[in-house]
Amino acid sequence: MTDTESDLLARIRVHGAVPRHIAIIMDGNGRWARERHMPRPFGHRSGMKAVRAVVEGCLEAGVEWLSLFAFSQENWQRPETEVSALMSLLEEFIAREATDLARQGVCVHVHGDLERLSPAAASAVQRVRRETAGGDRLGLNLFISYGGRAELVRAARLLALDVQRGKLLPEQIDEVHFREKLFTAGCPDPDLLIRTSGEQRLSNFLLWQVAYAELYISSVLWPDFDRAALYEAICDFQRRDRRFGRVTT
């Protein structure tokens, strides 16, 4: 850990109000590669280092949950070579990191339309889920082939099935029942949503869950996002006044 990272972590611990759940839209891999006159998959590969740095940073800071937007449903429309490279990177990341994640107490959950994954990628997902199932220090949500609107439609369909089967009356449906049908059931909503690369949009990520999240836009491109950048975001979060619609007196 660098001196800068140590200083920022010390500030975080002094202030105490660490977000329980951080969600990150990992953006900027392509731009990072383009600036270096390299193909986009080079940027995606470099972004793997940032994932490790953020996971380790969350463990050090005492964050309980980390959600990473790795691959959207819309990303399937990208060139086949890029999609193939991303799937290969997913397999490589899991092969390289699963054992270490388990050792560090990280429990990995993978969410999204996983039926679209290749057999090799699907097998890798099952492996990391199995090998990290006992982790109790950090819950790591990886969102792959995911879309926020699709998740809400899925939840509505599951509730409709419950009504059809007589398990639930329409007038009984409330936020609690709806939340139970989301991928993140049992996980607290994000307190802090970070987006890298300077873009200022949600990109169809966790539309229900980030309703009251604090937003933090970082100009850093994802491959350059390190522990210091994460800690700066947490320090900014600690300065926020979270009222949830209420007025302080």
Residue 1: pLDDT band (50, 70, 90) is: confident
pLDDT (tens digit per residue) in 23-69: 999 999 999 999 999 999 999 999 999 999 999 999 999 999 999 99
The region of weakest confidence among 1-10, 210-219, 231-240 is 1-10
Euclidean distance between CA atoms 2 and 48, whole angstroms: 20
What integer pLDDT is reported at residue 15 of this predicted model?
Answer: 85
Euclidean distance between CA atoms 139 and 197, whole angstroms: 25
> Does residue 27 carry a catalytic annotation?
yes
> Does residue 141 carry a catalytic annotation?
no
Task: Supply the mean pLDDT for the chain.
Answer: 95
Q: Which residues contact 43 (CB under 8 A, 6 or more apart)?
A: 28, 29, 30, 31, 32, 33, 34, 222, 223
The region of weakest confidence among 66-70, 83-87, 121-125, 176-180 is 83-87
Read out DSSP for 195-225? E-TT----TT-STTTTTTPEEEE--S-GGG-
Q: Tell me, yes or no, whether 83 lies in a domain.
A: yes
How many domains does the chain fold into?
A: 1
pTM recorded for the entire structure: 0.94
- Among 75, 113, 224, 236, which one carries the catalytic annotation? 75
* Contact between residue 229 and residue 184 where contact means Cβ atoms under 8 Å apart: no
What percentage of the chain's residues is helix, strand, coil (to nearest 5)? Answer: 50, 15, 35
Find the domain containing 68 and state its range. Answer: 16-138+148-238
Q: What angle do CA 92, 193, 229 make, to 5 degrees?
A: 70
Residue 246: pLDDT band (50, 70, 90) is: low
Share of the chain above pLDDT 90, in %: 93
Q: Tell me, yes or no, whether 37 lies in a domain.
A: yes
Q: Tell me, yes or no, whether 60 lies in a domain.
A: yes
pLDDT at 247 over 70: no
- Residue 53's CATH number: 3.40.1180.10
**Radius of gyration for the chain, computed over Cα atoms and rounded to the nearest angstrom:** 19
What integer pLDDT is reported at residue 152 of this predicted model?
Answer: 98
Q: Tell me, yes or no, whether 243 lies in a domain.
A: no
Q: Tell me, yes or no, whether 194 lies in a domain.
A: yes
Q: Tell me, yes or no, whether 5 lies in a domain.
A: no
- Four-CA torsion 36, 37, 41, 45, nearest 10 degrees: -20
pLDDT (tens digit per residue) in 186-224: 999 999 999 999 999 999 999 999 999 999 999 999 999
- Among 27, 189, 191, 226, which one carries the catalytic annotation? 27
pLDDT at 243 over 90: no
pLDDT (tens digit per residue) in 99-123: 999 999 999 999 999 999 999 999 9
Q: Tell me, yes or no, whether 8 lies in a domain.
A: no
Residue 142 exposed, middle or buried by CB count within 10 Å (0-12, 13-18, 19+): buried
Q: Tell me, yes or no, whether 249 lies in a domain.
A: no
What integer pLDDT is reported at residue 242 of this predicted model?
Answer: 73
- DSSP H/E element including 6: helix 3-15
Q: Which residue has the higher pLDDT, 247 or 196?
A: 196
